Amino acid sequence: MKSRGRPKVDTQPIMVRMPSELIAALDEARRGEEDLPSRPELIRRIVEAWADGRRGQ
């Protein structure tokens, strides 16, 4: 597991509110991942996959 420390310089925090049902779905998806990512990490992966798909259009 990565140690916590200063965030990367080229990043910005975002706060997002989600319905409980969506958070439950995220947690279920996390458990399906081999490395059990944190919620923020799973959201980053999902957004990166979405962005990669848009670039490929």
**Domain chopping of the chain, boundaries:** 20-55
Please tell me the predicted confidence (pLDDT) of residue 32: 96
Number of C-beta neighbours around residue 19 at 10 A: 8
Please tell me the predicted confidence (pLDDT) of residue 3: 62
1 band by pLDDT with thresholds 50, 70 and 90: low
> Half-sphere exposure of 33 toward its Cβ, with a 13 Å CA cutoff?
16
> Half-sphere exposure of 21 toward its Cβ, with a 13 Å CA cutoff?
0
Please tell me the predicted confidence (pLDDT) of residue 15: 94
Say whether pLDDT at 55 is over 60: yes
Please tell me the predicted confidence (pLDDT) of residue 18: 97
Query: What are 9's two structure tokens?
Result: 């310089």
